[in-house]
Structure formats: structure tokens, C-alpha cells
């Protein structure tokens, strides 16, 4: 956490490769899920089938930073196993669940049913499944028409109702209680934990959104500064703030410098438009996405080696 705080004090510009912003696996899987939702319409099994096929394609494009459980489940999907999910309590199912909540904000029953099935495709540990349902639930409550005036902590407390798992519920409660407290941030992170275990991540995301959710960039910066699975924490908290305040609340300078092509700003806007208007999602080039991954490998490796430096 200290290393992240030292190197990335503010989220005011991109730092991976020059001034261009690149999305990570969280956003790519969110977009693939959005595409499956748009193409499947009201048919749940069609949505699951399409998302499953997209995940196999995603793995074939050699993504960097893939989680162990997602890797195992994608391989099982490739082999055609009926139940490909891995018994893991990582963040993979939660990090992509926000879009489901926004899309099905007015249909709680389908949101929870489909949310459980989509999570189980990659993660079968009940803590990971319920965390994904919680992420979708918060997004849904944020997206409802009367929510812009709502307090983020109130929305989180309401969404907490979908969590029955004791350990996960306790982490969310702790995140909410700490947000009410004035404890120093490093102390908050130490008590919540930041290992990439879904229980720790839900505590961190809950704290950041409850404490700073009124100001999107402040909440996202806090999620990054907490360390651990930083891109996932930032993606989840960023999704919640986006659902609550709208895309306009994000700094235009950052949105404007996002990569072009697949999973770039216009692709994502087009996808959001397609979901909102029930029209076909934008087409994009798989080859272009593969070439982008290959081109970024040296950059990602260089950052990895730089982290080893004292
Ligand atoms: Mg991550």
C-alpha cells in the first residue's frame, strides 16, 4: 500500500504507457458481459451461453493479469465442461457484475438469479458468488431514478440485504462502520485486509464508496491507494460512482485519453447505448484486441520489473 501511495498519489493521468489509458481485465469482462446481455435480450440461458463463449475468446487473446480461478474456469469452458467454475473466493466474478445491476435495475428477481449463474460460471465459492450479487445490487440501487440524491452509505446498507454469507456480511458491515469513523486510512486498510481475497476487497470497496462516493475521482483514488487488487477495486468503485452520478462525473481529460479500438471509450459508449436502447451492440475486431495485448506485454513486463526495484 505504501508503494502504491508513493508512486500513484493522484489518479490524474495514466501511467502505463505514455498518456494513453488502457483498460484491464475488469473492464474487458464487463464489456463482454454487456455484449452478452444486449445480444441475449430476455433469455438467461442464451446470455450465459454467449458470455461463456466470449470468455473462451478472451482467454485466446492472451490477456495479462488473469486470475487463477478465471484461468481454470476458462480452460474448462474450452473443454466444454457443463460446470466450469473453480472453487475460489477471488474477485473475478465481482469485478464484472456492476453492469448486470445497472441493466437489470428494475428487475431484482432476474438480477439475482442471473447474477448467481453468471458468477458461478467462473467462481463457485459462495462468498465469491454473493460478493458478485452484492456488487450488482449496489449498482442497481445507484442506477434507480431517485438515487442521485441518496447517500452512498444508505445504498450500500440496502444492498447488503442480498448477502447471507456471514464472513462477507461482516466485512461489508466493517467497511460501513469504518467509513463512519475518522480512523487514518492506512489503519482502515490494515483492519479490512487487501490481499485480493473477495472478503477483503468487498470491505475496501464498501469503505471507499461509503466514505467518498459523492466524489467519483476521490473514491476511485482511495480504492487505488488501498493497494492489493487495485484495478479491480477501482473498477468496482468506479462502476458504482458511474451508476450513481453518470459518466459526466468522471474527469473528461481521463476519459478522452482512453485507448481507441476494442474496449476503448467509443466501444464502451456504443455498448452502453445498445443496452439502453435494446439495439445490437457495436462490432469490434478480435484481431485488433489480440494485437493490442501482444503489444502491451513488454510494457506490462517492464512495470513488473520496475516493481522489483527498491
Ligand atoms: Mg484486478
Residue 233 CA to ligand 1 center (angstroms) comes to 7
Q: Where are the domains of the chain?
A: 23-308
Q: Which residues of 202-221 are buried (b: 16+ CB within 10 A; e: fewer)?
A: bbbbbbbbbbbbeebbebbb
CA quadruple 104, 126, 196, 28: dihedral positive or negative? Answer: negative
Q: Residue range 173-181: average pLDDT?
A: 97
Question: pLDDT value at position 88?
Answer: 96
Is there a contact between 21 and 254 (Cβ–Cβ < 8 Å)?
Answer: yes
Residue predicted with more confidence, 260 or 110 = 110
Residue predicted with more confidence, 120 or 254 = 120
Residue 146 CA to ligand 1 center (angstroms) comes to 31
Residue 166 CA to ligand 1 center (angstroms) comes to 24
C-alpha triplet 42, 121, 201: angle, nearest 5°: 105
Residues near ion ligand 1 (Cβ under 5 Å)? 229, 231-232
Residue 236 CA to ligand 1 center (angstroms) comes to 10
Question: Which CATH code, of 1.25.40.20, 3.30.499.10, 1.10.4080.10, 1.10.10.10, is assigned to 23-308?
Answer: 1.10.4080.10
Is there a contact between 281 and 271 (Cβ–Cβ < 8 Å)?
Answer: yes
Q: How far is 160 from 166, CA to CA, in rounded Å?
A: 11
Residue 266 CA to ligand 1 center (angstroms) comes to 23
Chain centroid, CA 161 distance in Å: 20
Question: pLDDT value at position 19?
Answer: 78
State yes or no: pLDDT of 193 exceeds 80: yes
State yes or no: pLDDT of 309 exceeds 80: no
Q: Residue range 191-203: average pLDDT?
A: 95
Q: How far is 106 from 138, CA to CA, in rounded Å?
A: 13
pLDDT digits (tens, 9 = 90+) for 252-307: 888 888 988 999 999 999 999 999 999 999 999 999 999 999 998 887 777 777 77
Q: Which of 278, 277, 279, 253 is nearest to 265 (CA)?
A: 253
Is there a contact between 232 and 208 (Cβ–Cβ < 8 Å)?
Answer: no
Residue 279 CA to ligand 1 center (angstroms) comes to 30
Residue 128's SS3 state is helix
State yes or no: pLDDT of 9 exceeds 70: no
Residue 228 CA to ligand 1 center (angstroms) comes to 9
Residue 122 CA to ligand 1 center (angstroms) comes to 15
pLDDT digits (tens, 9 = 90+) for 199-257: 999 999 999 999 999 999 999 999 999 999 999 999 999 999 999 999 899 888 888 88
Mean pLDDT score across all residues of the chain: 92
Residue 170 CA to ligand 1 center (angstroms) comes to 23
Question: pLDDT value at position 46?
Answer: 98
Residue 25 CA to ligand 1 center (angstroms) comes to 7
Q: What is the pTM of this model?
A: 0.94
Residue predicted with more confidence, 176 or 248 = 176
H-only helix segments in 180-285 = 185-192, 198-212, 216-225, 230-245, 252-256, 265-277
Grid coordinates 451508476 are at which residue?
243
Residue 244: CA count within 13 A, CB half-sphere: 29
Residue 103's SS3 state is helix
Amino acid at each position: 500500500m505504501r508503494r502504491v501511495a508513493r508512486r500513484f498519489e493522484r489518479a490524474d493521468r495514466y501511467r502505463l504507457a505514455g498518456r494513453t489509458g488502457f483498460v484491464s481485465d475488469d473492464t474487458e469482462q464487463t464489456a463482454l458481459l454487456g455484449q452478452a446481455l444486449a445480444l441475449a435480450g430476455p433469455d438467461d440461458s442464451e446470455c450465459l451461453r454467449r458470455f461463456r463463449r466470449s470468455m473462451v475468446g478472451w482467454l485466446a487473446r492472451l490477456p495479462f493479469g488473469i486470475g487463477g480461478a478465471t484461468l481454470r474456469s476458462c480452460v474448462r469452458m474450452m473443454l466444454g465442461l457443463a460446470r466450469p467454475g473453480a472453487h475460489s473466493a477471488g474477485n473475478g466474478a465481482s469485478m464484472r457484475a456492476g453492469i448486470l445491476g445497472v441493466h437489470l435495475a428494475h428487475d431484482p428477481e432476474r438480477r439475482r438469479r442471473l447474477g448467481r449463474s453468471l458468477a458461478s460460471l467462473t467462481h463457485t465459492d459462495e462468498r465469491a458468488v454473493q460478493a458478485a450479487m452484492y456488487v450488482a445490487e449496489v449498482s442497481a440501487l445507484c442506477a434507480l431514478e431517485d438515487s442521485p440524491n441518496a447517500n452512498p452509505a444508505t445504498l450500500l446498507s440496502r444492498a447488503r440485504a442480498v448477502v447471507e454469507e456471514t464472513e462477507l456480511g461482516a466485512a461489508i458491515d466493517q467497511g460501513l462502520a469504518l467509513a463512519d469513523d475518522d480512523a487514518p486510512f492506512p489503519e482502515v486498510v490494515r483492519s479490512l485486509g487487501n490481499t485480493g481475497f473477495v472478503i477483503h476487497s468487498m470491505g475496501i470497496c464498501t469503505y471507499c464508496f461509503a466514505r467518498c462516493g459523492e466524489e467519483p475521482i476521490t473514491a476511485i483514488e482511495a480504492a487505488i491507494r488501498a493497494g492489493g487488487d487495485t484495478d479491480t477495486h477501482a473498477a468496482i468503485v468506479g462502476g458504482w460512482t458511474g451508476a450513481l452520478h453518470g459518466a459526466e462525473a468522471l474527469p473528461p481529460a481521463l476519459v478522452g485519453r482512453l485507448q481507441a479500438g476494442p474496449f476503448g471509450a467509443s466501444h464502451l459508449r456504443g455498448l452502453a447505448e445498445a443496452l439502453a436502447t435494446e439495439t445490437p451492440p457495436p462490432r469490434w475486431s478480435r484481431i485488433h484486441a489480440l494485437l493490442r495485448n501482444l503489444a502491451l506485454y513488454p510494457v506490462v513486463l517492464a512495470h513488473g520489473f520496475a516493481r522489483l526495484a527498491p
